[in-house]
Amino acid sequence: MPDTDGRRKRGNAWTLGKSHERGDLILIRCGHCNIKRWYEPSDLIRLFGDVDIDLIDGHMLCEKCRNKEFVRAEARHLTARERVGIRVRRLAEIRVVRRVVWKDEE
């Protein structure tokens, strides 16, 4: 079912930065788990940079099924009334994992 409210503009760059300026939220859905989550564009910019929102598709890990392939993102501009009851998932921290790699002496 097409979502007429979505601001998904194929071939017409709509970036996270534009969404941030306009005060959008980013709706991210996993088509596999049928889960919807809302994010602040500024948080996603910290992870992905100021990219076209379409580029997030397939790049964000679903926190439930740990898959990326079914994840779709779209910008939504909500009215104050629509925002009531929506819980936005905020970026708590970016963890940089230290991975140790060993190698035998030559």
Q: Which residue has the tokens 């910019």?
A: 45
27 forms part of the interface with Zn ion (CB under 5 A): no
CB of 44 to Zn ion, least distance (A): 17
Contact by Cβ (8 Å): 46, 40: no
Contact by Cβ (8 Å): 21, 69: no
62 forms part of the interface with Zn ion (CB under 5 A): yes
CB of 67 to Zn ion, least distance (A): 5
Nearer to Zn ion, 18 or 89 (CB): 89
**Rounded to whole angstroms, what are the CA distances from 42 to 3, 13, 101, 106?**
24, 17, 34, 47
30 forms part of the interface with Zn ion (CB under 5 A): yes
DSSP summary character for residue 56: G
Nearer to Zn ion, 27 or 62 (CB): 62
Residues that bind Zn ion (CB under 5 A): 30, 32-33, 62, 64-65
